Amino acid sequence: MAKVVFSFDDKSAKKLKNKKNILGGKGANLGEMGRLGLPVPPGFTITTDVCDLFYKNKKKLPKSVIKNIEAELKNIEKKTKKKFGDLKNPLLVSVRSGARISMPGMMDTILNLGLNDKTVESLKKKTSNGRFAKDSYRRFIQMYSNVVLGVEGHLFEELIDNYKLTKGVLLDTDLDESDWDGLITNFKDLVKKEKKINFPQDVKEQLLGAVNAVFLSWDSQRAKTYRKLNQIPDHWGTAVNVQAMVFGNMGNDCSTGVAFTRNPSTGDNSFFGEFLINAQGEDVVAGTRTPQYITKKAKQESGSKDPSMEEAMPKVYKELAKVFVKLENHYKDMQDIEFTVENNKLWMLQTRSGKRTAKAAIKIAVDMVKEKLISKKEAIKRIDPNTLDTLLHPTLDDKVKKEIIASGLPASPGAASGKVVFTADEAEKLNGMMQDTILVRLETSPEDIHGMHAAKGILTARGGMTSHAAVVARGMGRPCVSGSSEITIDYELKQFKAGEVIIKEGDVITIDGGSGKVMKGLVPTVQPEISGYFSTIMKWADEFRKLKVRTNAETETDSKTAREFGAEGIGLCRTEHMFFDEERILSVRQMILSKSKEDRDSALDKLLPYQKEDFKKIFKVMSGLPVTVRLLDPPLHEFLPKAEKDIEEVARSLNLSAKEVKDRISELHEENPMLGHRGCRLGISFPEIYEMQCRAIFEAIVELKKEKVKSAFVEIMIPLVSTETELKILRKLVNKIGKEIEDQNKTKLDYMVGTMIELPRAALQAKSISKHADFFSFGTNDLTQTTLGISRDDSGKFLNDYIDNKIFDEDPFVSIDQSGVGELVEMASSRGRKTNKKIKLGICGEHGGDPKSIEFCSRVGLNYVSCSPFRVPVARLAAAQAELSK
* Residues classed as catalytic: 468, 844
317/285 Cα distance (integer angstroms): 20
Measured distance CA(137)–CA(203) in Å, rounded: 13
How many Å apart are CA 795 and CA 797, to the nearest integer? 5
Which H helix or E strand runs over 616? helix 597-621
Task: Report how far residue 789's alpha carbon sits from residue 650's, in angstroms, rounded to the nearest whole number.
Answer: 36
What are the backbone dihedrals phi and psi of residue 216, each rounded to the nearest 5 degrees, phi first? -65, -30
Is 337 within 8 Å of 39 (Cβ atoms)?
no
Bridge partners (DSSP) listed for residue 412: 480
Give 124's contacts (C-beta < 8 A, 6+ positions apart): 130, 132, 133, 134
Among candidates 553, 556, 611, which has minimal Cα distance to 583? Answer: 611
H or E element that contains 519: strand 517-520
Contact partners, residue 409, CB within 8 Å, separation at least 6: 464, 465, 470, 481, 482, 483, 484, 516
Residues 696, 697, 699, 704: is their CA dihedral positive or negative?
Answer: positive
311: helix, coil or strand? helix
Cβ pair 351, 35 in contact under 8 A: no
- Rounded Cα gap, residues 877 and 885, in angstroms: 12
Exposure of 115 by Cβ count < 10 A (0-12 exposed, 13-18 middle, 19+ buried)?
buried
Question: What gap in Å lies between CA 469 and CA 482, rounded to an integer?
Answer: 7
- CA-CA distance, 133 to 124, in Å (whole number)? 5
**183 close to 160: Cβ distance less than 8 angstroms:** yes
Q: Counting Cβ atoms within 10 Å, is residue 492 exposed (0-12), middle (13-18) or buried (19+)? A: exposed
Strand partners, 509: 418, 520
Burial class (CB in 10 A: 0-12, 13-18, 19+), 11: exposed
Which has the closest alpha carbon to 459: 411, 499, 492, 500?
411
Task: Give the residue from 760, 784, 601 showing the smallest Cα distance to 695.
Answer: 601
Q: What is the maximum span of the chain, computed from C-alpha positions, in angstroms?
A: 104
CA distances from 400 to 492, 503, 522, 593, 672 (A): 34, 21, 11, 47, 47
Cβ atoms of residues 786 and 674 within 8 Å: no
